[in-house]
């Protein structure tokens, strides 16, 4: 396993079971079945992209 990138910060997060189950459903729909942390990164990135488009 590669070491984490130097420009990142570790984050510990507790989620309700229902939210975690939803994340897992979305993960399984992806062709590459990402890890939970990767799926959360993708969801957040998409959310920020959507939000930046709303402000234009």
- Written as tens digits, the pLDDT of the chain (56 aa) is 777 778 999 999 999 999 999 999 999 999 999 999 999 999 999 999 999 877 65
**pLDDT score for 43:** 96
Domain contains 1: no
Domain contains 23: yes
Domain contains 12: no
Residue 34, class by beta-carbon neighbours within 10 Å (0-12 exposed, 13-18 middle, 19+ buried)? middle
Give me the domain span that covers residue 31: 17-54
Q: What whole-number distance in Å separates Cα of residue 50 and Cα of residue 16?
A: 24
Number of structural domains, the chain? 1
Domain contains 44: yes
Domain contains 48: yes
**pLDDT score for 55:** 61
Domain contains 10: no
Q: What is 1-56 written as a DSSP string?
A: -PPPPTT---------HHHHHHHHHHHHHSTT---HHHHHHHHHHHHHHHHHHHT-
Domain contains 35: yes
């Amino acid at each position: 396993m590669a070491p984490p990138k130097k420009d990142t910060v570790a984050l510990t997060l507790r989620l309700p079971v229902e939210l975690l189950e939803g994340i897992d459903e979305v993960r399984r729909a992806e062709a590459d079945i990402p890890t939970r942390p990767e799926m959360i990164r993708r969801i957040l990135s998409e959310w920020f992209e959507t939000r930046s488009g709303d402000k234009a």
